[in-house]
Amino acid sequence: MSTLRKILVSKDISCKSVWFMRQAGRYLPEFREIRSQNQNFINLCLNSELSSKITLQPIKRFNLDSAIIFSDILMVPYALGQDVKFIKDLGPELSEFNIEKFLENSEKEFSKKLKPVYKAIEITRKSLDRDKSLIAFIGAPWTLLVYMLNIKKNKFEIDFNKLKKKDLDINKILSRLIKFLCIHIHNQISAGADVIQIFDSWAGIIPHNNIKDYCFIPNAKIVEFCKREKIPSICFPRGIKEKYKDFNEIVKPNGINIDYDIDPLWAKNNLRGTTIQGGLDPKKLLKSEKEMLEGATKYINTFKDIPYVFNLGHGLLPETDPDRVRKLIEFYRNHQ
């Protein structure tokens, strides 16, 4: 059993485990070289050989404890019939959502479209040491809905007028999304992944009155599926502040990734019965080495006597120096 699974499932505090969100990405020159020759991001994610190669780049460079498959949460909307483009400096752009087309999707066609992703997982698992986890991931239903319906105004608010259009049955859409996300989880685990991370990247912009219906319940249904299938799950409901406590008590994942706005001591006192992951602000890796290591020490010391996975409160930034990542990993592993 990998160290990550030991911490998530057995809550073994004697294990040390470190990996980073976006560890296979733009901060690595070897990734940038591949990306420069593959401009279409969706096609790159569907290139099984290259996807596996990218997944393994940070493992080869840093010997991290876990690999996370190189893919994207928007592969699910793509497989459900929406065109997905990534516009430089602007982010993803999806074609207009058509509810009739969405509801007509078949399980067979969905899995067929994502077969290259599963093939990449198979290839990666064969190249990865058995003591290392291979993490698969999905976007949570709400976060996918934000992109699929194009309802985000900015980083802090959504367009509720779009959400309330008469022809949109949000509960029906969420229910169907949960179904296909569970299929995607099953397929990724069958291909060789052994842990699932659920990214609810836009949970923080859900209005207070809707947080249960749009965040807690959908995540809980997916985690319940994972538990039935004996799949360890890590949830990342980014930006929900003190609602992390309610989320943890309702959803009950094996692990919960805290963002950098959450005070680690508060997390230790309030997020009980789960493995805590992450927290360190990725911007700390852009500061002086002293500031970076002081920031890391705060998390390491706070969580030293409970199950904890060393990670960040968001993904590695493109401008991060890989040497800083190496020093941070070495510091964590050597910290007594």
- Residue identified by tokens 């007594």 is 336
Q: What angle do CA 192, 193, 198 make, to 5 degrees?
A: 155
Cα→Cα distances 197→52, 258, 281, 315, 332, Å: 18, 13, 19, 13, 22
What DSSP string describes 284-336?
Answer: GGGS-HHHHHHHHHHHHHHTTTS-EEB-BSSPPPTT--HHHHHHHHHHHHH--
**Which one-letter amino acid corresponds to residue 35?**
R
DSSP code, position 136:
E
Q: Are strands 133-139 and 195-199 parallel, antiparallel or unpaired?
A: parallel
The residues that are catalytic are 22, 26, 35, 72, 147
Q: Tell me the pairing of strands 195-199 and 255-258.
A: unpaired
- DSSP secondary-structure letter at 271? S
